[in-house]
Amino acid sequence: MKYILLIRNNADFLESLSAQERDGIMADVDKIVAELRETGEFLGGQALGHPSNTKTVRVRDGLPVTIDGPFAEAKEQLAGYLIVDVETEQRALDIAARWPDARFGAMEVRAIMDETGTEM
Amino acid sequence: MTASGPPEDLLRDLVPQVLGTLIDRYGQFSEAEDAVQEALLAAAQQWPHDGVPGNPRGWLVTVASRRLVDQWRSDDARRRREETVAAIAPAGQAEVPGTDDTLKLLLLCCHPALSAPSQVALTLRAAGGLSTAQIARAFLVPEATMAQRISRAKQAIKAAGATFTLPPPAEQAQRLRVVLQVLYLIFNEGYTTTSGPQLIDTGLTGEAIRLTRTLRQILPHDGEVTGLLALMLLTDARRATRTAGDGGLIPLSEQDRSRWDQRSIAEGISLVSGTLSHGPLGPYQLQAAIAAVHAEAPTAQETDWPQILALYSLLERMAPNPMVRLNHAVALAMVKGPQAGLDLLSTLEEALAGQHRLDAVRAHLLELAGDMPAAKASYQRAARRTRSLPEQRYLTGRAARIAAG
């Protein structure tokens, strides 16, 4: 079963960390990704650019309106994602719980729809 | 052997024998398997130009053996190399193709120490001769991910101390059940895929049928092997009619039966009739028998539901599980009315809590019972719970139809 683990955090908080703290977080991340590659569960993942470099596009009355910044002034923004293929939902939740951002932000675990369907 | 079919089929039929020969000569399942893959690749490149060799199996054994030796040489395993170079006979001639090798290989790939996804991947590669890239495409994962799963599966086999031999008779029946499960998993993965890339000409369903057919040649008197083959053929006969042009699911009752594959149906019915009259019954034979009753009905209205109900009752006694009971409830509803089916469903609340199939069946039975608001709500709940896009579309469509009607 495939899941996307959405990483939500506060970019300002991350910037406030010391280099050593940030290195520790990256080491945790590297370790988890290496483990997921080893188990054959890792399908991919990316980090996203800073929220301040985001643009939001809406079309209203047929006209596109582009504004700077993410769509809302939420405390936590989407910072990246990883996609895993795991045997159970619990396994996806466990991976999310170990991800460093779960400690100071949040991890959102969502099922990825698949193209197979049983005969009804 | 001559090239009667396309070279790819010929190649893949030879895989278990070639691999079996290599393992018998050199041991080392994992390395031998890699070498056979490389030989297959070489054959796929060379045979179309140079023609199929007179002894394709011998050709593959020779090329794979050389690869294996090259591998060892590069691994600097001098002592082993010298032994094996000496052991390489002029390959292939007058060797009896070992049907036992196919069985041993399937049992090894479906070793209980492996997880189900690993069993599936390894079976497709080592017994089916598919490349890692092909298997990765079929399961929509990156090739590196699939390569890692196969490599881990091989490590697990090694760690479990599994050998390329037939297990003791007492254990063999149980191990064979796992092989059948894996083959059925492969079949279902192919059957339920409505879009996505085609793996090979006939897809995973064709591959599962091919492997099961081979297994039946080795074990012609095993009723469950025959039952599984029949079940696959009878199910696969409906494949072209189970989806609409836009990928939407078409339920059994609305399929265009004139387009069911009559040749598969005839073969499936003949297989299941033969096995039902002989040995001990088993779950695959019963499921095949149920599929045969559906296949024999000229229209959905003419389905012999009392017979299907009887078969499900038998199946539930023999192999009770919630999914069987779910289908049993549908059959019961068709024979004794929707309320009887709904009553049986209520016993599944706990076992299938939160699962969309329960909601979908309940919605269907509520619709039959004429309780439209409840049916609509059930279809919507099922649509929210499924992880399958085609199912979601189907269920949302059903709910919308009730609203419109």
Q: What is the pLDDT of residues B137-173, one digit of tens each?
A: 888 889 999 999 999 999 999 998 888 888 888 888 8
Q: Which domain holds residue B26?
A: 7-87
The answer on pLDDT for B93 being more than 50 is no
- Taking alpha carbons only, the member of B272, B279, B275, B313 closest to residue B293 is B272
Q: Please indicate whether, in this complex, the C-beta atoms of A119 and B238 are within 8 angstroms of each other.
A: yes
Min Cα distance A35 → chain B (Å) is: 11
CA distance A29 to A25: 6
* Percentage, residues of chain B above pLDDT 70: 89
pLDDT band at B88 (very low <50, low <70, confident <90, very high): low
Residue whose C-alpha is closest to residue B38's, from B20, B11, B13, B10: B11
Amino acid (1-letter code) at residue B351: A
Q: Is B266 within the bounds of a domain?
A: no
Number of domains in chain B: 2
- Domain of B370: which CATH number? 1.25.40.10
Note the helical H segments in chain A: 11-15, 19-39, 89-98, 101-104
Q: Alpha-carbon distance B38 to B35, whole Å? A: 5
Residue B325's alpha-carbon distances to B281, B316, B357, in angstroms, are: 19, 7, 12
Whole-angstrom Cα distance, residue B234 to residue B261? 9
* Residue finishing a domain among B87, B106, B126: B87
> If phi over 0 gives left and psi between -120 and 50 gives alpha, with beta otherwise, what is residue B296?
alpha
CATH classification number, A2-111, choose in 1.10.240.10, 3.30.1330.60, 3.30.70.1060, 3.40.50.300: 3.30.70.1060
> Residue B335: is its pLDDT beyond 50?
yes
Run of H or E including B401: helix B389-404
Contact residues of A toward B, CB < 8 A: 1, 37-44, 85, 87, 111-120
Residues of chain A with pLDDT under 50: none
Q: What angle do CA A75, A80, A82 make, to 5 degrees?
A: 135
Q: Which of B87, B114, B136 is the last residue of a domain?
A: B87
According to DSSP, the residues that pair with A65 across neighbouring strands are: A58
Q: Per-residue b/e over B169-181, b at no fewer than 16 CB within 10 Å?
A: eeeeeebbebbbb
- Interchain pair B195, A44: CB under 8 A: no
Q: Is the pLDDT of residue B83 over 60?
A: no
Contact B239/A119 with Cβ under 8 angstroms? no
Q: Say how far apart CA B333 and CA B314 lie, in whole Å.
A: 17
Q: Is A92 buried (19+), middle (13-18) or exposed (0-12) by CB count in 10 A?
A: buried
User: At residue B91, what is the residue type?
Assistant: A
In this complex, do B148 and A40 lie within 8 Å of one another by their Cβ atoms?
yes
Among the candidates B32, B53, B87, a domain finishes at B87
Under 8 Å between Cβ of B101 and B17: yes
Residue at B76 is within a domain? yes
Least Cα separation, residue A93 to chain B (angstroms)? 17
- pLDDT, residue B222, reads 93
- Are residues B144 and A43, on separate chains, in Cβ contact within 8 Å? no
Q: What's the gap in Å between the CA of B378 and the closest CA on chain A? A: 14
The residue of chain B nearest to residue A120, with distances taken between CA atoms, is B251
Q: Tokens 């229209």 map to which residue?
A: B299
Q: Give the dihedral of Cα atoms B289, B291, B292, B296; nearest 10 deg.
A: 150
Is pLDDT at B318 greater than 80 in this prediction? yes
B194-244 tens-digit pLDDT: 555 444 445 889 999 999 999 999 999 999 999 999 999 999 999 889 888
**Per-residue pLDDT, A53:** 86
Tell the residue number behind the tokens 């890792």, with chain if given. Answer: A42
Phi, psi of A64 (to 5 degrees): -75, 135
Q: Give a yes or no: residue B70 inside a domain.
A: yes
Instruction: Give the CA dihedral B93, B163, B124, B284, nearest 10 degrees.
Output: 110
CA distance A21 to chain B (A): 31
